[in-house]
Amino acid sequence: MSKRSTQSTKPHDTTEATTTGHGGEIHQPAGGSHPELTTNHGVPISDNQNSLKANPRGPTLLEDFILREKISHFDHERIPERIVHARGTGAHGYFELTKSLALYTRAKVLTEVGVKTPLFTRFSTVAGGAGSVDTPRDVRGFAVKLYTTEGNWDIVGNNIPVFFIQDAIKFPDLIHAVKMEPDRGFPQAGSAHDTFYDFVSLTPEAIHMLMWAMSDRTIPRSLRMIEGFGVHSFRLINDTGESTFVKFHWRPKLGLQSTVWDEAVKLQSADNDFHRRDLFEAISAGNFPEWEFAVQLFTQEEADAFPFDHLDATKLVPEELVPLQVIGRMVLDRWPDNFFAETEQVAFFPTNIVPGIDFSNDPLLQGRLFSYQDTQLSRLGGPNFHQIPINAPKCPFANQQRDGHMQMQVPKGRVAYEPSSLAADSPRESPKAGFRSFAADESGAKGRIRAESFADHYSQARQFFRSQTDTEQAHIASSLVFELSKVETEYIRELMVGHLLRVDDSLGKRVADGLGMDKLPPAAETTVPAEDRPNSPALQIIGKMKPTLEGRAVGILVNHGSDAALVAALKKAATDAGATVKIVAPKVGGAKLSDGALLKAHGQLAGTPSMLFDAVAIILSEAGAKALSTEGAAIDFVRNAFGHLKAIAIDAGGQALLKTAGVKPDAGVVAAHDTTKFIDAAKTRQWAREPSVRTLA
């Protein structure tokens, strides 16, 4: 057996290595007397890094009482709020299959083309509580419950295809580290603090996910503009029992789009419910969000040839290696009737799969199969939460489970067991149609050990960073500088820079310079050197962003006397391009335009800042511009629009307001009468402007 390959890096001057059972080396800062880590019943724990598996790449064993106790305690820490993903919003819709996978699976939902399967989708942040805001830098949950004719199928994923850890036994540690620090109760909904980076600095398997978390993926413009990933490898099983590995992807029809960091921060004060409101307004207006559903399919033999282990949740399968096949679409077309009854009470489970789909041995997935069910027992009050309408299957279901808290059905008859001979209509098992697991051949010695194939922590992190555009690389580096600047413990900052030097030398140096380090710390220790993998343009946002205004919003700032014809022309051009147009005025009642007509406003200037829009137009008379020249909200409106790299249309009055605000026009500031040029500019951010408005790492 090999040592656990997830080597951790030590503080340079005060570390001693210890060994935990089969687990290999971990590192802890020396000094002080550390008590033994034990179970709640006092049993010393030999390895707190690895769950008990049938073999290094095998399934996690139910007998692992240490894993079950740790996860179960974690699952029940908060009632009734979700431990993670507490802040969320959701919508009803349907899934339509457009290409059959009958060659690979017997699952009807993936073989019956044209059938529309009802579903419910919930989006969420991870770290913040239910009362936090929509727009922090955070991973977004992307969970879909499909009510198939064979039972509920839940795809419980994120907007990022990888995760921080390789083994579920570390999940409580990860979340305890990223949540608010327990002695002070802050920061809320943010990773920029000591405990998170202390954990990450000692857990190099998290570095790849950290690159994603520090990218613009975690500050999305809209929930309608994020990708979704099932994260883990699953299996598809066909009628003959053959298995094919699969990864699930959701790709937004509107394309990817993110905010910039300063904008995301200001959105938290502009509208705590920005993403929730955006989704609600889109559905209410009939602009139904839509995603393509795609799969990556590969055999065991193909997986064996990958330069990484697909069972490692900190790794992805590049699209250039295994192309995506689009096989369906998801449309969200109905807002919940009651937020609590549906969005808040919906319960997702990775264990909700249907015949023809099965699990892989991914050790993070294996732990999730226990954790999610266990969590809902506390959060929803007992074992009958599946009877809540949002969770109940829409196909018939029958079993011999009885009683329990909040039992809402009234089972009849004397039989509550199987087999029985006393009831002709008693449910029976169905060997032919029922769920069957893949007959995987498992061998090897059981133990708490990480497979050697999980050992490379830096190659895909390097691939991700180097695949980004120059602008996106600068954003990642700047995000790391911002976050690590909030870390008070100096040696943790040094450890993190050491990891970044392993990812990419230039990245480590940029972050070190941004932190004001006099000299570079040593690069992190590693048993597996990072490899240079081919760049993957599919990992970008800017590089594959659609030049479109569809699904976006344009704000037009007006005051008394604004040119009515110009406002109408801009509104028509933006609407024709697929955007929603909102009028902003000093007073919510609106403003009388040049034609004497009152144009009602969608928002008051002081409460409707430019962060809420993808592009803006400033249409003001001379008197209107002068009236706003001493109005702080007006100055901020144009300064923020410019600073957030948005296209700005101006007339003479708008130009005067820009001058008052100290904004020097560039190519993204266009004459309002040239509506074609404005619409073209509004379809993207003005990335060339960024170096002139902020210093990036």
- By annotation, the residues acting in catalysis are 85, 158
Here the tokens at position 279 are: 């989704």
In angstroms, the CA 630 to CA 620 distance is 14
Contact 642, 685 (CB under 8 A): no
In angstroms, the CA 70 to CA 171 distance is 9
- Strand-pairing partners, residue 25, are 19
Written as one letter, the residue type at 109 is V
In angstroms, the CA 139 to CA 158 distance is 7
In angstroms, the CA 678 to CA 591 distance is 23
Region for residue 617 given its phi and psi (left: phi exceeds 0; alpha: psi -120 to 50; beta: otherwise): beta
Alpha helices in 486-563 (DSSP H): 490-503, 505-514
In angstroms, the CA 267 to CA 697 distance is 23
Closest CA to 209 of 229, 189, 193: 229
Residues in CB range of 522: below 8 A, 6 or more apart: 12, 498
Q: What is the CA radius of gyration of the chain?
A: 27
Angle between helices 171-178 and 363-379 (to 10 degrees): 70
3-class secondary-structure state, position 38: strand
In angstroms, the CA 651 to CA 144 distance is 46
Q: Which helix (H) or strand (E) holds 234?
A: strand 234-237
Written as one letter, the residue type at 33 is S
Here the tokens at position 199 are: 């954990």
- List b or e across 664-680, with b for residues whose CB sees 16 or more CB atoms inside 10 angstroms: eeeebbbebeebeebbe
For 90-152, give the secondary structure using H, E and C. Answer: EEEEEEEECCCCCCCCCCHHHCCCCCEEEEEEEEEECCCCCCCCCCCCCCEEEEEEEEECCEE
**Residue 259 burial (CB count, 10 A):** 22
In angstroms, the CA 362 to CA 684 distance is 39
- List b or e across 490-509, with b for residues whose CB sees 16 or more CB atoms inside 10 angstroms: ebbbbbbbbbbbbbbeebbb
Closest CA to 415 of 404, 402, 429, 406: 402
In angstroms, the CA 356 to CA 148 distance is 13
In angstroms, the CA 380 to CA 49 distance is 30
In angstroms, the CA 598 to CA 618 distance is 17
Tokens 């990933």 map to which residue?
229
How many residues are recorded in the chain? 697
Contact 98, 293 (CB under 8 A): no
Here the tokens at position 15 are: 């570390």
Tokens 């369906």 map to which residue?
328
* Number of helical H runs and strand E runs in the chain: 18, 20
3-class secondary-structure state, position 140: strand
- List b or e across 381-391, with b for residues whose CB sees 16 or more CB atoms inside 10 angstroms: eebbbbebebb
